[in-house]
Structure 1
Amino acid sequence: MVDIIITETHPVLQRGLQQILTEVDPSWVPIPRSTHDLRHPQAYAGADMILFSLPIEQDALARDVAIAASIPRPNILFLSPDPIMVTPMLPAASNVRGCVDSGASVEVLVASIRLVRVGGRCFPAVQQPVPPGLTSRLVKPLDPPGQQQNADMELLGITARQYEVLVALARGHSIQAVGELLNISISTAKSHAYALYRRLGVNSKSEAVYEASRRGASFDWDAPTVVAAPDVFHHVSRSTATDTPSSNVAQDDDFEFDTAPPDLVRWWPTGK
């Protein structure tokens, strides 16, 4: 059995979370706890995960984030009405592995829980507009893969380019940022992602990360060297892309494909 602590205090929402967890996987056992209870280690001893609901009031939010950051184990997934505001509040050594919008769909929540349980992360990717031409001075290309990367590619049965896309997605980058990071057009980045999804038998970027983690991939890829601030990646400029971009590409941060197997859960995570 998998014990999942939930801290939602609203009775209706708490009951809804309990019902969702038990219906998705009968082995998931929801255990209601208050945030005050979590000040004491015995309240979460033996639990497999904490689904930590956050308030919107600033004082209460700061208090609850501090409580969560003090918990050494198990992994924690935040539910917040404003994930982008919460993420910068976490200390570097925090055991919080993700933050999901409390208004997200059931599919998003379930996939995020599965991802966090296996050690993945699902924080929102903050994006801001960047002047055209600046991106080439911000990010340098990735180095060729080494021994561990080749092992991961062989394990997953994917190409080097698909592995680059997978690692970028695992680090929370949107598909636009992936195109910019790899110096390819958005349409080409989507094509590589589509091929990656088909190879892994999944239908979304978080499912791809989860499936790769489940198979034992390390995602041990050297991060790009950031030469100047900011520390986030942005939409690629069509004038700087090396591939010919499509004029019909929509600027969606995450995407899924209509041709994927119908039995797979379809969702797209927070992360705009």
Structure 2
Amino acid sequence: MATILLLEPHPLLRLGLRHLLAQAHVPGDLVDLDPGSLHQPDPWTHHADLLIFGLPADAAQGWQMLGDLCERLQPLRVLVLAEHVPAPLPEAGLPDAVRGVLAKTCSSDALEAAIRLVLAGGECFPSQVPPARQPEAAQGARHAAAPIVVPLHSVPVDLPGAAAVAAPVATPETPAAGAHLLNITERQYEVLALLARGYPIKTVSRLLNISVATAKTHACTLYQRLHVRNKGEAVYVALQRGATLNWIGPTPAQPTHIPMSSLHAREACEAA
């Protein structure tokens, strides 16, 4: 069973989240942390499978607090609940353990599915859904920013509840369109789209038929163009700018077919 830590500075919101998660049958043991006792955390709170962290209104102070918590408690994954999305990114960059950011006003189904996805190895970041594609129930301020899940790692397709936060079906994004939105080159877009699927840089280089060094150069350059420090931040910023990163991927190389007549002729020559 997974160990899930819940840290929300607002007492009433923390109570509501605790009740919601208890009713959601999330696969794990929920531990409600008291912010006042964090100066001496219990040993069993270390290396938790997931830390659900409520970002306070003072985002800068909240990110600093989260960074300190990650150093002391070393959670395997962190899911941040922000007052508003897109949430301002910390100057020092997202902590490595952060696997997603959701609005505190998201639906209970979206929160439950996001937790399940993160526990399964995925990542999710918020993105503004175009009004024309939003359902009627999402037109209000409560759902002004719907979560779009980006599976950066391998996630089981039959994951319960994962469909609740899936992005609306959309036409695949072309590298040309995505590159124009993000003000990067098409090759840099292709690298980012493949990294967003969880592929290591060596696999990206193989899929794009470029060297590993070239793939790393493209990744570093696009991070600089987007003013981010890592892949997670790059995906976050790309979604906020309207990109979907749902490129269908490179066309696989077709196997070379040798006509049977040529094959027989070769065999005859070898036999002679």
Which TM-score applies when normalising by structure 1? 0.46
Which TM-score applies when normalising by structure 2? 0.46
Q: Which has the higher helix share?
A: 2
